[in-house]
Amino acid sequence: MQWETVIGLEIHAQLATRSKIFSGSATTFGAEPNTQASLIDLGMPGTLPVLNQEAVRMAVKFGLAIDAELGRSNVFARKNYFYPDLPKGYQTSQMDKPIVGKGHLDISLEDGTVKRIGITRAHLEEDAGKSLHEDFHGMTGIDLNRAGTPLLEIVSEPDIRSAKEAVAYVKAIHALVRYLGICDGNMAEGSLRCDCNVSVRPVGQEAFGTRAEIKNVNSFRFIERAINHEVQRQIELIEDGGKVVQETRLYDPNKDETRSMRSKEEANDYRYFPCPDLLPVVIEPDFLDEVRAGLPELPGEKRARFESQFGLSAYDASVLSASRELADYFEQVQTVCGDAKLAANWVMGELSSLLNKDNLEIDRSPVSAAQLGGLILRIKDNTISGKIAKMVFEALAAGEGASADAVIEAKGLKQVTDSGAIEVMLDEVLAANAAQVEQYRASDEAKRAKMFGFFVGQAMKASKGKANPGQVNELLKKKLEG
């Protein structure tokens, strides 16, 4: 039987506010345990929440960016359950009236097509603390520094049909929240977390299959692997005559498998009700206009502009607009060198491999956009060849010069274009290889073509790569024929 995969994602994005959603505690990552847990975060008796306006603004930004319905008023609700990292015994969240309603996001697939993914809603809520399971004499330690950090939970429609699409969607959300400056997107620190609802159904069937929820899959790679594994598990289960149970599963990256999270799945009854300590949040039209006016250019808009303004291919435009930092870098390089295609090639080629090799983000690039732009300028004006340019780039990456010009100067890499000088050099090369010259002249066309490269190589070697390759080719041909 042919199976179709159906995936819906719930992404929790920690909002990049300075203080927590309901208290004035700092949200800095990595502080000593419980040093960022105030009376409110600890759920001390008598304490009350007051909503952070920046969290509201960030959620609204996101809503505008996904073209969502933004209701005039939204309501906080309490989700009641007991867990030691949940100090009040309830999570303040949103239920019936979320701040962000129905919207959508377009994602680019590998084949270059664009797919629209529906976003059901996005709501504000507070994060929980952390349970540390290292052994404290058989006890668990609770750190509430994270408790009360604002989260935007982004719930997608079940529009996603493969693990690859899921990754593309998460990457698009990741890029978007970073573009908007509302989340740092650091998945390793848990700033962006993903729960995947996965089900399968026979191709052509309308009704959804029973879904399993895979919790907290925290890297793009794991999302793909966890979903693929889960899809396989479900198909095998059904084909063996079994049934998928609705449950929460945990992905184990070490074993590359998902397993059921609770042996006896407890029916949760969260007893949601409107939080009586918080009043409805009203979004005034003026506020909406103000936020809208402050929105940056979004990934989709940028991609389209890169195509139209710079004539980049759809693929190049989408790679370069994937993150705001990369796009900004590319645009700076382009501005300096005035050649978008060369800039794109260098950013996506040499620069990307350099960053990948050292596992660096673009904002930590050892070669600045100004440096790279300056380098490309020297390629364009024939000061250096493409090959020498790579040497210069490596020198810049190694910090061996403040600019391409400085490196070229210091290392004497300036291309030789004086044909007189090249001819002298070529004569020397031919003299030194007299036997090969004779052999060349005695050969037929096919053989000559093969041998020609040898002379070019020798010539470039003799010039230490500085001779203009075009001129070398031309003059060499003349001399050999002659």
Partner 1 sequence: MHRLTLAQIARGLAAKDFSAVELTEALLTRIGALDPQLNSFITVTAEQARAQAQAADARRAAGESGALLGAPIAHKDLFCTKGVRTSCASKVLDNFISPYDATVVEKLAAAGCVSLGKLNMDEFAMGSASESSHYGPVKNPWNTECVPGGSSGGSAAAVAARLIPAATGSDTGGSIRQPAALTNLTGLKPTYGRVSRWGMIAYASSLDQGGPIARTAEDCALLLGAMAGFDPKDSTCVDQPVDDYLAALNRPLAGLRIGLPREYFGAGLDPRLSDAVMACVEELKKLGATVKEIGLPNMQHAIPAYYVIAPAEASSNLSRFDGVRFGYRCENPQNLEDLYKRSRGEGFGAEVKRRIMVGTYALSAGYYDAYYLKAQKIRRLIRSDFIGAFQEVDLILGPTTPNPAWKLGEKSSDPVAAYLEDIYTITANLAGIPGLSMPAGFVDGLPVGVQLLAPYFQEGRLLNVAHQYQQATDWHQRAPEGF
Partner 2 sequence: MALERSDVEKIAHLARLGLDDAEIPRTTQTLNDILGLIDRMQAVDTHGIEPLAHPLEATQRLRPDEVTECDHRDAYQAIAPAVENGLYLVPKVIE
Regarding 261 and contact with partner 1 (CB under 8 A), the answer is no
Query: Of these, 26, 51, 132, 480, which contacts partner 1 (CB under 8 A)?
Result: 51
Regarding 234 and contact with partner 2 (CB under 8 A), the answer is no
Query: What count of other Cβ atoms lies within 10 Å of the Cβ of residue 157?
Result: 15
- Per the CB < 8 A criterion, the answer to whether 417 and 382 are in contact is yes
* Segment near partner 1 (CB under 8 A); pick from 75-83, 379-387, 454-462, 466-474: 75-83
- 113-141 as b/e, with b when 16 or more CB fall inside 10 Å? eebebbbbbbbbbbbbbbeeeeeeeeeee
- Report the distance separating Cα 381 and Cα 54, nearest Å: 49
Residue by residue, DSSP assigns 62-121 as: HHHHTT----SEE-EEEEE---TT-TTSEEEEESSS-SB-SEEEEEE-TTS-EEEEEEEE
Structure tokens at 375: 């380098």
| 275-314: contacts with partner 1 (CB under 8 A) | 276-279
Regarding 38 and contact with partner 2 (CB under 8 A), the answer is yes
Min separation Cβ 284 and partner 2, Å: 10
- 371-388 as b/e, with b when 16 or more CB fall inside 10 Å? bbbbbbbbbeeebbbeeb
Nearer to partner 2, 75 or 347 (CB): 75
- Report the distance separating Cα 282 and Cα 56, nearest Å: 10
- Per the CB < 8 A criterion, the answer to whether 195 and 213 are in contact is yes
Nearer to partner 2, 273 or 315 (CB): 273
Regarding 286 and contact with partner 2 (CB under 8 A), the answer is no
250 binds, among partner 2, partner 1, none (CB under 5 to 8 A by kind): partner 2
132 binds, among partner 1, partner 2, none (CB under 5 to 8 A by kind): partner 2
| 128-187: contacts with partner 2 (CB under 8 A) | 131-133, 136, 138-144
- Report the distance separating Cα 425 and Cα 71, nearest Å: 77
Query: Of these, 1, 32, 46, 243, which contacts partner 1 (CB under 8 A)?
Result: 46
Regarding 136 and contact with partner 1 (CB under 8 A), the answer is no
Segment 386-392 long-range contacts (CB within 8 Å, at least 24 positions apart): 387/465, 387/469, 388/413, 388/415, 388/465, 388/466, 390/350, 391/465
- Report the distance separating Cα 80 and Cα 103, nearest Å: 28
- Per the CB < 8 A criterion, the answer to whether 422 and 467 are in contact is yes
Regarding 52 and contact with partner 1 (CB under 8 A), the answer is no
46 binds, among partner 2, partner 1, none (CB under 5 to 8 A by kind): partner 1
Regarding 269 and contact with partner 1 (CB under 8 A), the answer is yes
Query: Of these, 35, 239, 273, 432, which contacts partner 1 (CB under 8 A)?
Result: 273
| 72-91: contacts with partner 2 (CB under 8 A) | 73, 75, 82, 84
Regarding 258 and contact with partner 2 (CB under 8 A), the answer is no
Residues binding partner 1 (CB under 8 A): 39, 42-51, 78, 80, 82, 84, 87-90, 142, 269, 271-273, 276-279
Q: Report the interface residues with partner 2, using CB under 8 A.
A: 17-19, 23-26, 32-39, 42, 44, 50-56, 73, 75, 82, 84, 131-133, 136, 138-144, 250, 261, 269, 271, 274, 276, 278-282
